Structure 1
């Protein structure tokens, strides 16, 4: 999940690589008057090169663990990484086939994240139009080709595309930048819809970095141009419970406009660091009372789906914190 308190390059891409460090106390009690069982409809899964080594049985075990907590859909963060410091890689076709097949065996659909272009970070910080334009042009060509040519859209478990970038108000204040972002997303959405694959999803979050930008205004600009399915991050794992106040204006706008959206509930807890620059990010699995309150809140937002970030590893890991979260969650569902 993108870390709104630190530079964007230190965000969601790091979280699943971080070892659990110490137990944390629950920050939140249950919502007063709530008696509904916690609902969670889907989970993200970050794909790394190591996933290529999993056998079909190992995939089945992971899918079973996600389904046991209520997941009816799996959102792949991406299918590969391009343009980084390491050589480009994509999840091999046989592994993708096993992933989709075993998801189906456990009753789960799969929304597939497009290949992720690491040039996004350079485009975010670029002050000149040409750098952003080059990224948008190149990434659009690659993503469009993947949507048109990848065989996975024909799989019966396919649930649509996920655009594997996260947008916030900090980097998109200027009208010219919003226009470039909007044209790019319009083109990506058009390719998906023209291929009969529906409206693509993309994550969004509230950045606590000081800016004159408005998250609501940004989405007004984007939705005036094209159709997208926003996935609104609750930000509780990084910024705490008060972050819900910051995203409520966007949720209210989406409800009033009648836009279908989803809410992402963070299952981790950021730990204090000696360096507050994002280079020493540490996290552990959240305690269940906090997660329970997040899930109960999410049910009140009008979201079409509640998505966890992420059942694997924060509720399926072998460390004591993850095991405790899973056990308490399953008990609450029983």
Structure 2
């Protein structure tokens, strides 16, 4: 590091300290104590050893110690405040706009609330898969949507229940496997993948898609594409209502065999590809026409802005030990801890304006 960088960093630190009256006060107290230490040291040096009182020695030491502590406290607090304020949260409206545009997701997060006494197997050091090992797919959320939010708020945004005795296991990881945006189309693709697996045929006694006449040849061709643009509702607008009706049948009728192999399809899952907050009413109580109602994204935002949580995706139920670049966190105080910014280049997406 050259001198120019050193001076630039020092200038930044001074500006951060000066931005808060508390950090300024701590730093001033520290400097005053260090100045007092210098005065006392001068007196001590100028005096004969036998003339030095124990009180002067003790006061000099305490003044030096206090000066160092207060001088360090000011810049440290300034840096902590800066770190806290520098985490950029994505607003719900921006996230919704990213949903409408099927904006790329580079990192996802899995949050698992659990009771340490009743469910010790869900502790972060004991987890082996994203879901129980007999499941094939897991629901995960966009990491970008949750950064900077408290862990309890993040749980609310992904529709997970929580009580004060819970801890939360979190796995943050880069997307290296196939990721399905969990709108109606993505859900049908996953259902089809599960129902087509030869080794599961004995267990798949009731199917929604494979071997039925539920979808047309054109819809079957459409479901083969996994390109990002193919998940924009505008690109399958003529098929959305039928896809949604099938998704509703799968979500609200619990007898389909593939449900046992797909992570919990919570009541807050929405066929547009997001999770409604835990406080939102369940969608299965809605009539089919209301469940699948969609005119455009602006109207959808006006309807769901109060209940919108986060974008949701389906991914293979991965062995955690084999996920490259994973970050695993145990939140033992979720109400006071936040989803951290892990220092990646985040995909913020479009401005805070919902597309039409």
TM-score (norm 1): 0.24
Larger RCO, structure (CA 8 Å, separation 6 or more)? 2
- Tell me which protein shows more strand as a share of its residues: 1
TM-score (norm 2): 0.23
Q: Which structure has the larger Rg over C-alpha atoms? A: 2
